[in-house]
Amino acid sequence: MESICPIDQRCSHQISALLQPPSPLHIQEYFERLISKRQCHGIKVKQDGEFGKGVFAETDFEEEQLILKDQMLVGAQHPSNKIDCLVCSYCFKFIGSIEQQIGRKLYLKTLGVSQHHGCENDLSDEDQDNHYVENHHNSENGASSSSISTNSLPKMALEALMNGELSLPYSNKFPLPSVVSCPGGCEEAFYCSKSCAEADWESFHSLLCTGEKSESLSREALLKFIQHANETNDIFLLAAKAISFTILRYRKVKASHLKKQENTAPSILGTSDLSLLVEAWKPISIGHKRRWWDCIALPGDIDGSDEAAFRMQIRELAFTSLHFLKEAIFDKECEPLFSLEIYGHIIGMFELNNLDLVVPSPVEDYFLYIDDLAYPEKKEAERITQPYLDALGDDYSVCCQGTAFFPLQSCMNHSCCPNAKAFKREEDRDGQATIIALRPICKGEEVTISYIDEDLPFEERQALLADYGFRCRCTRCLEEEP
């Protein structure tokens, strides 16, 4: 039997207002301000009647030239990747030191860390380490596959690495920002600077922190939500950040509104205050959305006759997740955000528009640097570093991995013969999306990327793109279509 969310019935008018697509004028104005703020002066977002939004070149680009760097609206590191990489929870730069990155990873492995439970402050010292990783069912979302043998390394040596008591040769060539703790006191979020910590707290984390200073309604319910997401699908964590972002933005918008209207009585949501929630929702409203259970790709092992049951199961999964989230951070003035209709559309937005969040690891750079040293410096350095490299195995090169929604990148249309791609250059060391030209692009030409592996045969490409809700009609597909 289908579960019913009472908020969907009670707030149907507000939900319709939130899901109403912004007008072309509002979209144009939003992206013009965004492009100006980010100084991406070589591009423009335009409305296209057939494909919706599109990104177009406002100048000529040469091959391999940077087109844009896009700051994410919402992003998260895969929980299963947190044991491998200690990064800033806001900008996703690697933090600490080379020694701390290596020592922490190996130390947690020796403890047999295998389950991520969130940031529980009442755990023992040993159990607190166990929050860094979980048994996530989507192993492709960043979980390390190779085993690490740390038996040959003394535990004291790993602790000395983590605590800064032991230095590795030439690690000073790869300095990293110092670790800044969460202002709410949780053991889950860490930052590269006080400014990143404050920005994350004000934008997302104050409602989602499980520390003592958390502004959530129930830390216990929040832990249940996090555990459910880790055990099912970490896309729920992104959806929670989107809702937290909108609630906190609504409060700022309302405070500003009331300050301007000090001589009038405050209005109530459901009458004129709905416009304030719509304004707070605007950055999320820009993204293309469908209900998650309607747009998620049917797994290969699900028979077509079982599709309806599968999609109902996905809906129930979202319903359960929403229940935990509502118990944790519900805000009566933002009640429509906790409807299943809105929650499903937010998750669907990430399903259709997400881009992999990837930040190269300085640990890989460090070991490559050691390998490139001249003799005898190389031999002397490897006498110290080789045991750690052997213990890490293939995992020495694991990068920060996650998922994010990038406003400008999400406007880029697909082509099976794209003229641009997402690509991290040597200097790109944070979570921003970096788009570079694959070939010369002329002024006025649309900038396109590929949503799939464009090397696949025609029918396989079209089958994958059907999950995005369209059939590709690029020049290559028109040529290859039977």
pLDDT at 50: 64
Half-sphere exposure of 435 (CA within 13 A, CB side): 27
- Return the closest-CA partner of residue 11 out of 328, 350, 283, 326: 326
Mean pLDDT of 149-175: 87
Mean pLDDT of 387-396: 93
Mean pLDDT of 197-205: 98
pLDDT at 38: 86
Q: Domains in the chain and their CATH numbers?
A: 1-39+214-262+273-359 (no CATH), 41-71+406-481 (2.170.270.10), 77-114+152-201+360-403 (no CATH)
Q: Residues 228, 234, 235, CA angle at the centre, nearest 5°? A: 120
Asked if the model's pLDDT at residue 95 lies above 70, the reply is yes
- Return the closest-CA partner of residue 217 out of 206, 202, 229: 206
User: Residue 364, Cα to own-chain centre: how many angstroms?
Assistant: 22
Token pair recorded at residue 177: 């920002």
Mean pLDDT of 146-160: 71
Mean pLDDT of 208-232: 97
pLDDT at 368: 97
pLDDT at 426: 87
Mean pLDDT of 229-250: 97
Mean pLDDT of 122-138: 36
- Lowest-confidence segment of 195-199, 386-390, 470-474 by average pLDDT: 470-474
Residues with Cβ within 8 Å of residue 160, at least 6 apart in sequence: 103, 166
Per-residue pLDDT of 240-254, as tens digits, reads 999 999 999 999 999
Q: What is the mean pLDDT of the chain?
A: 88
Q: How far apart are CA 104 and CA 85, in angstroms?
A: 9
Q: How far apart are CA 421 and CA 66, in angstroms?
A: 10
pLDDT at 149: 54
Query: Sign of torsion, CA 233 234 240 246?
Result: negative
Asked if the model's pLDDT at residue 396 lies above 50, the reply is yes
- Return the closest-CA partner of residue 118 out of 216, 224, 198, 191: 224
Mean pLDDT of 13-23: 94
Q: Which long-range contacts (CB under 8 A, 24 or more apart) does 309-318 make?
A: 312/2, 315/2, 315/3, 315/340, 315/344, 316/3, 317/232, 317/233, 318/236, 318/292, 318/293, 318/343, 318/344, 318/347
Beta bridge partners of 180: 191
Half-sphere exposure of 357 (CA within 13 A, CB side): 32
Q: How far apart are CA 298 and CA 246, in angstroms?
A: 30
* Cβ pair 438, 117 in contact under 8 A: no
- Band of the pLDDT at 263, cuts 50, 70, 90? low
- Band of the pLDDT at 258, cuts 50, 70, 90? confident
* Cβ pair 399, 85 in contact under 8 A: yes
Mean pLDDT of 154-169: 90
Residues with Cβ within 8 Å of residue 244, at least 6 apart in sequence: 204, 205, 206, 207, 208, 329
State how far the alpha carbon of 367 is from the alpha carbons of 152, 276, 362, in Å.
Answer: 19, 52, 9
Percentage of the chain beyond pLDDT 90 is 70
Token pair recorded at residue 235: 């896309």
Per-residue pLDDT of 276-290, as tens digits, reads 999 999 999 999 899
* Cβ pair 258, 276 in contact under 8 A: no
pLDDT at 445: 95
- Band of the pLDDT at 237, cuts 50, 70, 90? very high
pLDDT at 223: 97
Per-residue pLDDT of 104-121, as tens digits, reads 999 988 887 644 433 333
Asked if the model's pLDDT at residue 386 lies above 50, the reply is yes
Percentage of the chain beyond pLDDT 70 is 88
Residues with Cβ within 8 Å of residue 236, at least 6 apart in sequence: 225, 228, 229, 318, 321, 325, 347
- Band of the pLDDT at 148, cuts 50, 70, 90? very low
